Amino acid sequence: MFRLKAFAAAAMSLTAIGFAAPSFASGSVNVYSYRQPELIAPLLEAFEDETGIETNVLFLDKGLVERVKAEGANSPADVILTVDIGRLTEAKEADVTQSVTSEIINADIPEEYRDPEGDWFALTKRGRVVYASKDRIGDIPITYEELADEKWKGAICIRDGQHAYNIALFASMIAHHGAEYTEEWLTGLKNNLATRPNGNDRSQAKAIMSGECDLALGNTYYVGLMMTNEKEPEQQQWADAITVLFPNADGRGTHVNVSGMAMAKNAPNRESALKLMEFLASPEAQEIYAEQVFEYPVMPGAEASDIVKSFGEIHPDSLSLAEIASYRKQASELVDKVGFNDGP
């Protein structure tokens, strides 16, 4: 079974030139992951069963790119797993990835979901949707734009405005409407918040159940994870309290982001790393993503799970993810400019 090496963020010193890399077994694949361990466990276990290649995982909730860069030529990282198009492009721009050419990967992953130079590949899609109170709001049409309408004053919950998931959405608003509109929209959204941004996507559903708010922004796959969480049945109650609304379904479509992979620049186990990457792009892995992680596969023809289908049909925004990523810095600056994280 794959091995997880967890380190507290406080213990990670990235300033020292002689940063000591963790010790990993040789002849295996060393994965540096922004993705939570429970989300990638089914995939890595299936890969190990199929190939006999051991996977070692270092999970970081922040600072992954900085860590690989600090480790330099001696980095043990083989494969980088991350979420958000911004983090994929950030890894490439930081020069911690290398180009990969694989007919297998290119056959499974459509061109629009991979870097033109082969430095990163998307693996799954997820919608940034609206969670709505099943009892108080119900299944209604909604748009991102109307979340700034005064009719929702005091009704909306959201996690940190600077979180990658929200920055990508805000960047898409700039791409569609421009910075001036988006600044005004962010101000309106801030004024409609029930409380200061806090928690994660799951806790937004909890806040809706408790009556703290009626609407929240969250990713689709968290709903599936909550619905099937037998270890923490209270999360099933959170999921049962909400309805998934797909914003702009009748217009430009719902904002969709991705998770993805890249080969580390100095991968010491390149051959095994490539095998893992080809597996993660395969139909088998896409099925695992769909059935166990509740994300939308990027492979053409691959279906979402029945649970995800129960949310309703998603109509993704066709806006280029690369274009969205180009507005991330500006979106982050606007979040600070309007004092979004100060709350209403």
Within 8 A by CB and 6+ apart from 233, the residues are: none
Could you tell me how many residues make up the chain? Answer: 344
- Could you count the other beta carbons within 10 Å of the beta carbon of residue 12? 15
Q: What is the DSSP letter of 312?
A: -
Task: Say if residue 150 is exposed, middle or buried (CB neighbours under 10 Å; 0-12, 13-18, 19+).
Answer: exposed
Quick check: 305 and 290 in contact, CB under 8 A?
A: yes
Q: Which residue has the tokens 């930081």?
A: 94
Longest dimension (CA), the chain: 59
- 221 carries a ligand binding annotation: yes
Q: Which residue has the tokens 């608003």?
A: 173
- 165 carries a ligand binding annotation: no
Single out the residue of 289, 260, 292, 127 nearest to residue 201, CA to CA. 127
Q: Which residues are known binding-site members for Fe cation?
A: 221-222
